[in-house]
A and B are shown apart, each in its own frame.
Chain A
Amino acid sequence: MIIVDDVYKRYQTDHGVGKWVLQGATFTIPPKVNVGLVGRNGAGKSTLLRLIGGTDKPTRGRVERRCRVSWPMGFGGGLQGVLTGRQNTKFVCRIHGHEQDLADLLANIEEFAELGDAFDEPVKTYSSGMKARLQFALSLAFDFDVYISDEVTATGDAAFLKKTTEAFEKLVDRAGLIMVSHAEGTLRKFCTAGIWLHEGKAHWFDRLDDALKAYKKSLTV
């Protein structure tokens, strides 16, 4: 369960305090519910995801996580170019407390990413598709209760795409998902509930369709 209680957020910019991005967003995400986050560009979707993920703190208000929440899936930073895929993977496993079953986890990730010998090459030699494979394999390797996905644009070749979609579907069965996407099809496929972000407020809809309807209505007005 994730509780977002009266959350306000603004950023410090180069010229003073910025505008409020979120103004009193309040909602509760029940366990194992898949939520799609919609709203126009700059509505604060990514900000809200960061607050839920705990990588940023709200200016005012409270975010409570009563479960394990992942980092944004397929996230690009954090891979050190000088280190090999294996070394990077080890780091991520270690900080998640998997020192004991490091070998098992490494084997799983190596198998899923299907990088072959490149797994032992420095990450800076990887193509963007290879990086995406590694990042996606890393995201899926740990047992989170809720996964966060910010516009995972499908990179990688057709075979890997199929594999990630299958993995995603399995994941949705056992864990919750909070997803930002502008692709309606993707949202409909994975999410049941929806949050519509509008003018700093978050509107919760039990059905994704209603959220999308409200969102579209706001665009046409």
Chain B
Amino acid sequence: MAFADSAAKIQHRNTVRSTVSITCIVWKALFLREAVARLFAGRAAWAWILVEPVVHLGYLYVLFGFILQRLISGVDGGMFITTGVVGFLMVQNTAMRSKEAITANVGLFTYRQVFPVDTVLVRAALEAMLLLASALFLLTGLGLFGSSVLPHDVLSVMVALSALWLSGLGLGLMMSVANELIPEVGKVTDMLFRPLYFLSGIMYPVSAIPPAYRDWLLVNPFVHGIETLRTGFFPQYHAADGVSLSYLLGFALVTLCLGLALHVRFGRRLVAQ
């Protein structure tokens, strides 16, 4: 017989797994599955994950680098744009990738232990790790070209990145449910994210914006994260008045709660097709 009873199997049959241990196991398995699928999807898919941000930054640097050198004395233009882009992508990639998580994994919900929220959480975590890897790659590159890449306040860098990731996750949780229930939501959020790229202070310091418009810019929670990220990197950098990380953290908390609530309320309906 093909499937003989081994001792381990019999022991397994007689143990009841706890809910927490099942969740952890599912997360681990999903993470490995997502990571392998993402990194080895095509020919050297992992290389593109590293190269893409480099090209992205390259364009921005060519376009804005020279202006930036004048605008902010004492801060390296390349590093300025890098911090901005990494901060923004932390939100955007996390939100956009986790938005698709349920659709991409719909087949897995036949296994009763896999919940829609698991796929979203795992995707967001993987996205953050991939972005951190490519950020390290970028910083190493910039370091070789003579920029000073080490942050002077590591803690605020970590907190800013975590806050940005959490708000991306919160948005992803909300959008993943909304996207399934009302497919049009996905298109609308894509449209809303596009202007945010220009309104998040990626290629300009917020303090350079006239005060009348600056208050409007500061409504965008991501600006607060990106500015805090920069103050963590550059000792000479002065964030604009009114930048507060608690605003971003508050935003993250609200979106996370709403997103989880949506999953609790509609999670099962997403599975039933």
Which chain A positions have C-beta within 8 A of B13? 68, 143
Range for the number of chain A residues in contact with chain B: 35 or more
Q: CB distance A97 to B106 under 8 Å?
A: no
Q: Min CB distance, A184 to chain B, in Å? A: 27
Of residues 108 through 166 on chain A, the ones whose CB sits less than 8 Å from some CB of chain B are: 108, 111-112, 140-141, 143
1/0 contact string of B193-234 vs chain A (CB within 8 Å): 000000000000000000000000000000000000000000
State the 10 A-B residue pairs at the shortest beta-carbon distance, nearest first. A77-B107, A94-B29, A54-B112, A78-B107, A101-B8, A112-B2, A56-B272, A91-B33, A57-B268, A95-B29
Q: CB distance B107 to A79 under 8 Å?
A: yes
17 A–B contact pairs at CB < 8 A?
Answer: A11-B272, A55-B109, A55-B272, A71-B111, A75-B110, A77-B108, A77-B110, A78-B107, A80-B33, A91-B30, A94-B28, A95-B25, A95-B111, A100-B8, A141-B3, A143-B5, A143-B13
Chain B residue at minimal CB-CB distance from A47: B272
User: Is A53's beta carbon under 8 Å from chain B?
Assistant: yes
Which chain A positions have C-beta within 8 A of B111? 55, 71, 78, 92, 95
Interface residues of A, Cβ cutoff 8 Å to B = 11-12, 50, 53-57, 68-69, 71-72, 75-80, 82-83, 87, 90-92, 94-101, 104, 108, 111-112, 140-141, 143, 167, 170
In the complex the two chains form, what is the Cα distance from A87 to B29 in whole Å? 10
1/0 contact string of B2-46 vs chain A (CB within 8 Å): 110110110011000100011001101110110011001100000
Chain A residue at minimal CB-CB distance from B21: A97
Q: CB distance A71 to B112 under 8 Å?
A: yes
Q: CB distance B268 to A71 under 8 Å?
A: no
User: Is B55's beta carbon under 8 Å from chain A?
Assistant: no
Of residues 58 through 116 on chain B, the ones whose CB sits less than 8 Å from some CB of chain A are: 106-114
Q: CB distance B26 to A95 under 8 Å?
A: yes
In the complex the two chains form, what is the Cα distance from A143 to B3 in whole Å? 9
